Amino acid sequence: MRKYRIKQIDAFTDRAFGGNPAGVVPVADGLSDVEMQSIAVEMNLSETAFILPSEKADFKIRWFTPKKEVLFCGHATVASLHALAEEGEFGMDKEGEFSFKIETMVDILKVSVQKSAKHINIILQSPEINLINEKMDEEKFSEALKIDIQDIDHSHPIMRDKTLNYIYIVLKNLSTLKNVRYDYDKLESFGKEYNITGFTLISTETFEKDFEVHSRFFSPAYGIKEDPVTGSAQGPLGAYLIVNKLLEMSEDEIEINSEQGDIMGRPGRLIVKVTKKEEGCFTSQLIGEARTVLNGEIILN
């Protein structure tokens, strides 16, 4: 009989039952791909993270939805670092700031943890951002979303982040965003036709006055009807807002207060820190907290 510690952690929130829940297996050595997929199915969360040894970085993380493995997951990475800091792993048995390199399927990513007696803040580097204009059948897309094509704000282009094949679409107002009740099968079919793995819908109207953007994220390709707070989508989202002048960047760096999940009853909050590099390129960091809500063991026969 084999036992593995497992946690359920709500990411991008400062309270339990908010943000995006993720499963975390802090020590996943010895688990096969089939077992990791089975655990993700058993947890039935949008993603479960498995922390493994790495020869290239401080450690490796793999992420599985109940349907399949994903290239990168932001909220489950924040949850993973929260779990490691909470348990005092990798030298985090004391207060301070700690930096790590994480091996992932997309790149070696940098992450920092700020640990005090009351808070654990995670600062996560997003994967490379590569935004391009997207051409697609908007009528077919609108039909899948069950919205009028005029609900799309055509003053801002639809763009794709080529790293993860997510697309970004601005809707005209928060009311339209709230009322999206899409057709899962049609959107899944549309995504397959255009090789889109995630759909990010954006409104610059927000629930809280101190925030700049609200978003929703759908990913039928990964079996996710809707994600409460999508870390992997937030980095390119920040860059999208700057590129399309939805927000003004007075210097080479800006912190964007981003919200997601309210429409699902799981409010999530984070800061997206966007930095402008040479030749108009952008990098992003995600800054957020998390809360552990379940602590236990998975027993494998």
Whether the per-residue pLDDT at 279 is higher than 80: the answer is no
Separation of first and last alpha carbons in the chain: 5
Domain ranges of the chain: 2-128+288-300, 131-283
Tens of pLDDT along 33-57? 999 999 999 999 999 999 999 999 9
pTM of the model: 0.94
Question: What 3-state DSSP class applies to 230?
Answer: coil
Task: Residue 191: count other Cβ atoms within 10 Å of its Cβ.
Answer: 22
Q: Which residue has the higher pLDDT, 279 or 129?
A: 129
Q: What is the pLDDT at residue 250?
A: 84
SS (H, E, C) 178-202: HCCCCCHHHHHHHHHHHCCCEEEEE
Percent of the chain with pLDDT over 70: 100
- The mean pLDDT of 49-74, rounded to a whole number, is 97
Tell me which fold the domain 2-128+288-300 belongs to.
Diaminopimelate Epimerase; Chain A, domain 1 (3.10.310)
Question: What 3-state DSSP class applies to 105?
Answer: coil
Tens of pLDDT along 76-129? 999 999 999 999 999 999 999 999 999 999 999 999 999 999 999 999 999 999
- Cβ contact 7:48 at 8 Å: no
The CATH homologous superfamily for domain 131-283 is Diaminopimelate Epimerase; Chain A, domain 1 (3.10.310.10)
DSSP state of 149: G
CA quadruple 243, 247, 253, 254: dihedral sign: negative
- Cβ contact 179:151 at 8 Å: no
181, 186, 192, 194: CA torsion to nearest 10: -80
Same fold, 2-128+288-300 and 131-283: yes
What's the number of CA atoms in the CB half-sphere (13 Å) around residue 133? Answer: 5
- Cβ contact 214:54 at 8 Å: no
Q: What is the pLDDT at residue 280?
A: 77
Percent of the chain with pLDDT over 90: 96
Tens of pLDDT along 130-174? 999 999 999 999 999 999 999 999 999 999 999 999 999 999 999
Residues with Cβ within 8 Å of residue 148, at least 6 apart in sequence? 142
Catalytic residues: 47
Q: What is the pLDDT at residue 213?
A: 98
